[in-house]
Chains A and B, each alone.
Chain A
Amino acid sequence: MVVIDIETEDGQREALRRMLTIRAFDTKAGDLFADGELPGFVHLYVGEEAVGVGACSALEADDYITSTHRGHGHCIAKGLDPKKMMSELYGKADGYCNGKGGSMHIADVDAGMLGANGIVGAGPPLATGAALTAQLKGEDKVALAFFGDGAVAQGQVHEAINIAATWDLPAVFVVENNQYGEGTPVEKQHNVQNLSETAEAYNIPGFTVDGMDITAVYEAVKEARNRAADGQGPTLIEAETYRYHGHFEGDQQPYRTEEDIDIWKDRDAIESFKQRLVDAGTITEDEFDEMKAEIDEQIETAVEEAKSAPYPDPSEAYEDMFNATVPEISQFSSQMRADGGEDR
Chain B
Amino acid sequence: MSTETTSGTGPADTQEMTFREAIRLALREEMERDEDVFIMGEDVGKFGGVYEVTGDLVEQFGEARVRDTPISEAGFMGAGVGAAATGSRPIVEIMFSDFIGVCSEQIINQMAKNRYMFGGKTEMPITVRTTEGGGSGAASQHSGTLHTWFAHFPGVMAVAPGTPESAKGLLKSAIRSDDPVIFFENKEIYGQTGEVPLDENYTLPIGEANVEREGEDVTVVATQRMVGESLELAEELDGQVSVEVIDPRSLYPLDTDTLVESVKKTGRLVIADESPLSYGTHAEIGMRVMENAFFSLDAPIQRVGVADVHIPFSPVLEDEVLPHASDVEAAINRIV
Contact = CB atoms under 8 A, between A and B. Distances in A.
A98 B83 CA distance: 24
Nearest to A101: B117
A107 interface: yes
A312 B106 CA distance: 28
B59 interface: no
B283 interface: no
A126 interface: yes
Given A115-B114, A136-B65, A163-B69, A324 B80 contact: no
Given A129-B78, A156-B75, A156-B78, A101 B86 contact: no
Interface string B76-93: 111111111111101000
A162 B120 contact: no
A119 B74 CA distance: 13
Interface in B144-162: 154-155, 157
Interface stretch (B12-20, B164-172, B228-236, B252-260): B252-260
Interface string A120-155: 001011111111111011000001000000000001
A155 B74 contact: yes
Interface residues on B, range: 35 or more
Interface residues on A, range: 35 or more
A143 B83 CA distance: 11
A166 interface: yes
A323 interface: yes
B72 interface: yes
A122 B105 contact: yes
A97 B70 contact: no
Contacts, number: 167
Interface in A92-109: 95-101, 105, 107-109
B38 interface: yes
Nearest to B114: A115
A132 B114 contact: no
Given A133-B86, A324-B177, A327-B256, A125 B81 contact: yes
Contacts of B86: 64, 109, 114, 129-130, 133-134, 143
Contacts of A125: 74-79, 81-82, 106
5 shortest interchain CB distances as A-B pairs:
A125-B78, A129-B82, A159-B75, A320-B120, A98-B119
Interface of B: 1, 36, 38, 64-65, 69-70, 72, 74-88, 90, 105-106, 109-110, 114-123, 154-155, 157, 177-179, 206-207, 252-254, 256
Given A97-B118, A126-B79, A321-B115, 11 more contacts: A99-B119, A115-B114, A117-B110, A125-B77, A130-B82, A133-B83, A133-B86, A137-B88, A159-B78, A323-B179, A324-B177
16 contacts: A100-B119, A107-B117, A114-B82, A114-B86, A119-B110, A125-B79, A126-B78, A126-B79, A129-B79, A143-B82, A160-B79, A321-B116, A321-B154, A323-B123, A324-B1, A324-B206
Interface of A: 64, 66, 95-101, 105, 107-110, 114-115, 117-119, 122, 124-134, 136-137, 143, 155-156, 158-160, 162-163, 166, 319-324, 326-328
